[in-house]
Chain A
C-alpha cells in the first residue's frame, strides 16, 4: 500500500515535472518532430501530395525558431546565471544558456539552409520530402547533442544526428561517388559508435551512473579517496573511447577520413549541412561532456555550493588536466593536418572539407582553453566558451556562404573543380567578391567575422596562459594556431588566384550568374553578415557571452 502510494507520487511528480518544466523548454524540438511527421504524411495523403515540402519544412522550422528565440530571450541576463539551468526529463537533458544558444543557432541555420536549397534546386521536387525529413531529423538529434546530460542521451543524440546524415550523403542516387561516400560514412560512423559505446559502458561501469553531474561527483570521489591504478586506467580508456566518438562527429584527426570523401561525393548542399550544423552540435556536445565531467554541478561560481563545491572542483583537477591534453593535442593535430592536406586539393568541395577539419581544430583550441581555465578563473572560462560560441555563430555564415557559392556555381558551370573557376571575375565579378569575402574570412583577416572569431579564440588561450593555466601546453597550442593561420593563407588564396588572375577557359558552357538575381540574393544574404559581424560584433558577442554563462 505504502509502496504503491510512493510509486503513485513518483509517477504524478514525474508527469507534472515533465509537463510543467520539461515540455515547455522542449518546444523547438517538438516543432521539428511534428514537422517531420507532417512531411511524411505529405507523401502518404493524396490531399497533401502537391504541397511543396520545402515550404512545409520552412513553416515548421520557423515555429521552432520562434520558440528557440523566445527561450533565448527569456534567459536571465547577467545576475543570476545558474537560475536558467534546468534538468529536463529526469536529468536526461539539461536546459541552460548553451542549449538555448546552440538551438537558436541550429534553427536559424535551418531556415537559411532551407531557403538556400530551395534556390539551388537540390533536392528536386521528387526528393524534397525525403531530404527535408532527413535534415530535420538529423537536426533534432543535434539539438539533443547540445543538451545531453546523460551518457545514454549522448549516444542516442549522436546516432540520431548521424544516421540521417548517412542517407543524405547518398542523396545523389545515380552517382557512384555519392553512394561510395554514403557507405564510407556509414561504416566509419558505425565503427566510431561501437568504440564510443564501449567507452561509455566502461565509464558507467566504474562510476556506477550515466548522469553526467553524478559522474562528476563520483569522479571527484575517486580522485579524493585515491583509487587504485586500475580504475583510473579504465576511466582514462573509457574517456579516450568516448573521445573517439566525439572526434568522429567533429571530424578531428585521426577520425577525419570520412570527411573529404563524403564532402566530395555528396551534393554541396549536404556538405553545407554537415559542415555547419553537425560541427556546431559536435562542439556543443564536446563542451557538454568536458564540462559535465570536469566541473561539479554547482558550477564554477562557488556561492551555490560553497566550500564543498570548491573542494570537488579542485578534486576534478586531474580529470580536467587529462581532458585538456586530449583536446589540445587533437586540436593541434587536426588544425595542422587539415590545413596541410587542403593545400593539394583540386576539388572545391574537398578543399572546403579540409578547411572544415582545420576549423574544427581552431574550435577545439577554444574548448581546450575553456577547460584549462575551469579551475583557475571563472570569468576566463566564460570568455573562452563565449569565444567558441561566437566562432560557431560566424562559422554558420562563412561556410554556408562558401557552400552556397559552390552549389550555385555548379548549377551554371556544371563543375566543382577549382580550375573551372578560372577567370570567373571577368564574367561575374560580384560572385568573386562574395567568394573573396568568405574565403578571406575563413583565413581570419580583418575586418571580417572570421578574424573576430579567431581573435577571440586566441585571446582566450592567451588569457589562460596569463592566468597560469596549463601554461606550456597552451603556449605551444597558441603558436601552432598562429602558424596555421599563415599556412591556411595558401590554399584559400589559391582559389581566389584562379578566379581572378588566371585566364578563363574557352569551353565554358553557360554564363555564370550575377549578384543581382535570386541566387545572388541568397549569396548576398549569407555574405553580408560575414562583413557585418566583422565590423560590429558587440551584439553577437553579447549573445555568445550569454551562452558562455553556462560554464559559470
Chain B
C-alpha cells in the first residue's frame, strides 16, 4: 500500500493518540528536564493526559456529544470493526499496525480511559518517587489500551506484555509490606500465561493460510483494505491467491475466518492426539484465565490487590481483569470455535467454581481489601460462565439467543464490575489513608463519623452486591438466566451464589460502616471526605446507578457486535460442526436457517 495513502486513514491519528499519548507523555516526563521535585506539575500533567485521552475516547464513542460524526467516530448499531487503522509493520511476517474498535472493545476502551483518569486523581497521596510512579502509570495505560484496540495478534501480544513491567514496579515499589512477594508472584503467573499464549500464537500462525479465504472474507477481515480502490484490491488479492507457499497471518479477524472455515486447518492438524484447535484454545485459555483470574490460578490476585496502592488496585480490578475476559471473547471463541464447543463445560465449570470459591473466601477474610479482592474472583466467575454458556447445541435446538444473552450479560458484568470494583477499592483506600489499617474487626461506626463518604461507599458496595437498580444486577441476572439452558445445576448454583455475595457484603457493611462508634486505632484521623476524593467517588456512584437503571446505554454498544459474533458461531455450529455427523435430511431441513444466518454473517 502506498504509505502516503495509508497515513490519511481517518482513524489513524485518533486511535494512535488514544493508545500512545500516555506513553509519549511518560517519555517526556522521564527526561531529566523535568525536575523530580516538581511533584504537583507531574501529577497535574498526568491527570491532564489521562483526561485528554478520556475525552478522545469519548469523542470516538459518542460523536453526538461533539457535533456531527466524522468517519473515525463510532457508528452505533454497526456490528463490524470500525475506525480500522492498517499500516505495515514487519513485512517479512505480515505483521501490521492494525487497530480497530467494535461494540465489544469500545466500551472497554472508554472504561479504561475513565478509570485511568480517576486513578490518576486517586494517586495524589502517593508521595514516594512521584516522577517514576507517574511515568510507569502512563506506560501501563498505553499497554492496556493497546490490548483492547489491537487486531493483529503480534501487536496484541506486545501490548499484553508491555503492561507487565510497569505493574511489577508499581506494586513492588509503592505497595504494602509484602509488596515484593506480591509483585513477583503477579509477574510470574502472568508471564507463564503469556508464554503459553505465545506458543499458541505461533502454532496458529504457521497453520493459517490466507489463500483459503474468499475475496469477501479477505475484505471483511481487513487483510485487503476495503479503503483501496477496486483495482488495488484485485491486485492485493491476486498476490495472495497466486502465492506458491501458504500465506500466514497474525490478523485476528482473518484467523477467525480461517478457524470457522469448514476445512479449518486448525481443526485438521493433529498434535499428540488432539487437534491443534483444541491445543490453541487451551493454551490461550490458560493465558487469559490467569488474568481473569479463575480458581485455581487466582492466588496472585489477593496478594497483588492487597499490596498494591489504592489507584493501582483500582486499575487492576477495573481494567486488568477485563483483559482476560476480552481475550477469551475476542480470540479463543472465534478462532477455535470447535474447541470452544467441546470445552464449554470447562469454561462454565471454572466460572462457577470461582464464583462459589471466591464468595466463600470473601466471607472468611478479616482484611477489608482482601475481601474485596476475593469478591472480584467471585464476580469474574459470572463473566466466565456467561462467555462459556454454549446453548447453541443444547439438544440440537439452536438457541443462539440464549448464548447471546449470556455473552451480553458477561460483557455487561465486566463493565459493571469495572465500575463497582474500582469504587470498592477506592472506598477501602479512603479509609486506609486515614486509619492505616484494614482489619474488618476493628472498624464500625464510620457512617456516623463520615456520613457523606459512608453513603457513597454503601451505594458502591450495593452495586457490587448486585442490588436491582444498580449496575451489578443486570449482568448477573442475564448470565444466570442464560445458563439455565446450558445446565440447570450451574444456573441454580450461580443463583445461590448471589446469597453468598449478599452475605459477605452486608456483613462487611455492618462491621465497617454501621455500629455505634469507631473503636479502632487512629480514630481521631477520621476526617470527612475531601473534595478530591468526592470528585473520584461521585462519578463512580453515578455510573453505578445510571447503568443499573438504564442498562440500554451500554447494550446499545454491546449487543450488535456480541450478537453477530454469537450468530456467526451458532451458524458455524450448524454448518460445520453438525454437518459432518448429521444425516443429510437434517441438513435439508435447516436450509432456510442457513441462508438466513449466512446473510447475517455477511452483513
Contacts of B272 in A (CB 8 A): 475
Q: What's the least CB distance linking B289 to chain A, in Å? A: 17
A-B contact pairs, 12 of them (CB 8 A): A446-B161, A462-B203, A466-B206, A475-B271, A485-B191, A486-B195, A500-B169, A501-B173, A501-B179, A516-B32, A538-B89, A538-B91
Residues of A within 8 A of B168 (CB): 493
The B contact surface, by secondary structure, is helix
Interface string of A449-487 (1 = CB under 8 A from B): 001000100110011011000000001001100110110
Choose one: A433, A463, A479, A486; the contact of B191 (CB below 8 Å): A486
Chain B nearest CB: distance from A399 CB in Å?
A: 20
- B191 and A489 contact, CB distance less than 8 A: yes
How far apart are the CA atoms of A516 and B172 in the complex, in Å? 27
Could you tell me if A501 and B202 are in contact, using CB atoms closer than 8 angstroms?
no
B484 at the interface (CB under 8 A from A): no
Interface of A is mostly: helix
Let me know if B198 is at the binding interface, CB within 8 A: yes
**B467 to A: closest C-beta gap in Å:** 41
**CA A539 to CA B404, docked complex, whole Å:** 46
A223 sits at the interface (CB 8 A): no
What's the Cα separation between A463 and B179 when bound, in Å? Answer: 41
Does B207 lie at the interface of the complex (its beta carbon under 8 Å from any beta carbon of A)? yes
Q: Given known contacts A430-B32, A433-B30, A459-B202, what 11 new A-B pairs fall within 8 Å (CB)?
A: A379-B245, A429-B132, A446-B161, A446-B162, A459-B205, A463-B206, A479-B199, A493-B168, A501-B180, A516-B32, A538-B89
Q: In the complex, how many angstroms separate the beta carbon of A178 from the nearest chain B beta carbon?
A: 35
Q: Is the pair B202, A446 in contact by a Cβ cutoff of 8 Å?
A: no
Residue interface bits B555-578, CB-to-A below 8 A is 1, else 0: 000000000000000000000000
Check A500–B191 contact: CB distance below 8 A. Answer: no
Q: Are A541 and B199 in contact (CB under 8 A)?
A: no
Known: A493-B184, A497-B180. A447 touches B162 (CB 8 A): yes
| Contacts A440-B165, A466-B207 given; does A486 touch B192 at CB 8 Å | yes
- Interface assignment of B37: CB less than 8 Å from any CB of chain A: no
Contact: B206 with A462, CB < 8 Å? yes
Q: Is A500 a contact partner of B164 (Cβ separation < 8 A)?
A: no
Interface positions, chain B 182-198, Cβ under 8 Å from A, are 184, 187-188, 191-192, 195-196, 198
For residue B158, CB closer than 8 A to chain A, the reply is yes
Say yes or no: A497 contacts B206, CB within 8 Å.
Answer: no
Q: Does B157 contact A (CB under 8 A)?
A: yes
Q: Are A445 and B172 in contact (CB under 8 A)?
A: no
User: CA A465 – CA B162 in complex, angstroms?
Assistant: 28
Residues on the A chain within 8 Å of B169, using CB:
500
Q: List B residues at the A interface (Cβ < 8 Å).
A: 30, 32, 89-93, 132, 157-158, 161-162, 164-165, 168-169, 172-173, 179-180, 184, 187-188, 191-192, 195-196, 198-199, 202-203, 205-207, 245, 269, 271-272
Interface size on A, residues (CB 8 A): 38
**Contact A542 B165, beta carbon cutoff 8 Å:** no
Q: Which residue of chain B has the shortest Cβ distance to A515 in the bound complex?
A: B32
A436 CA / B132 CA spacing, docked (Å): 14
Instruction: State A445–B205 Cα separation when bound (angstroms).
Output: 19
A537 at the interface (CB under 8 A from B): yes
Among A462, A463, A501: residue with most chain B CB under 10 A: A462
Q: Which residues of A, 415-447, contact B by the 8 Å Cβ criterion?
A: 425, 429-430, 433, 436, 440, 445-447
Contact check, A458 vs B199: say whether CB atoms are below 8 A apart.
yes
How many Å from the CB of B546 to the closest CB on chain A?
38
Report if A545-B92 is in contact (Cβ < 8 Å); known contacts: A446-B161, A462-B206, A493-B184. Answer: yes
Chain A residues with CB under 8 A of B207: 466
A254 to chain B, nearest CB (A): 26
B486 CB to closest chain A CB, in angstroms? 33
Complex Cα spacing A542 to B191, Å: 29
Please state if A493 and B92 are interface contacts (CB–CB under 8 Å). Answer: no
Evaluate contact between A482 and B196: CB separation under 8 angstroms.
yes
**Given A445-B164, A451-B161, A538-B91, A458:B198 Cβ within 8 A:** yes
Contacts of B165 in A (CB 8 A): 436, 440, 445
- Please give me the residue from chain B that is nearest to A472 by CB atom: B272
Q: Which residues of B contact A545 (CB under 8 A)?
A: 92
Report the minimal beta-carbon distance from A35 to chain B, rounded to whole angstroms.
36
Residue of A nearest to B158 (CB): A446
Q: How far is B132's CA from A455's CA once the two chains are assembled, in angstroms?
A: 30
Q: Give bound CA distance, A485 to B179, whole Å.
A: 23
User: Which residue, of A455, A465, A466, A482, has the highest number of chain B Cβ atoms within 10 A?
Assistant: A466
Report which of B173, B199, B269 forms a contact with A478, defined as CB distance below 8 A. B199
| Residues of chain A contacted by B195 (CB below 8 angstroms) | 482-483, 485-486
Closest chain A residue to B168, Cβ basis:
A493
For B93, list chain A residues within 8 Å (CB).
459
Please tell me which one of the listed residues B91, B158, B192, B199 contacts residue A447 in the complex, with CB atoms under 8 A apart. B158
CA distance A500 to B188 in the complex (A): 18
Report the separation of the CA atoms of residues A538 and B90 in the bound assembly, to the nearest whole angstrom: 5
Docked complex Cα distance between A497 and B165 (Å): 12
Q: In the assembly, what is the distance between CA of A493 and CA of B186, in Å?
A: 13
A500 to B89, CA, bound (A): 34
With most chain A CB atoms within 10 A of its CB, the pick from B172, B192, B206, B271 is B206
Interface contact B199-A462, CB-CB below 8 Å: yes
How close is B374's CB to chain A, nearest CB, in angstroms?
26
How far apart are the CA atoms of A479 and B192 in the complex, in Å?
11
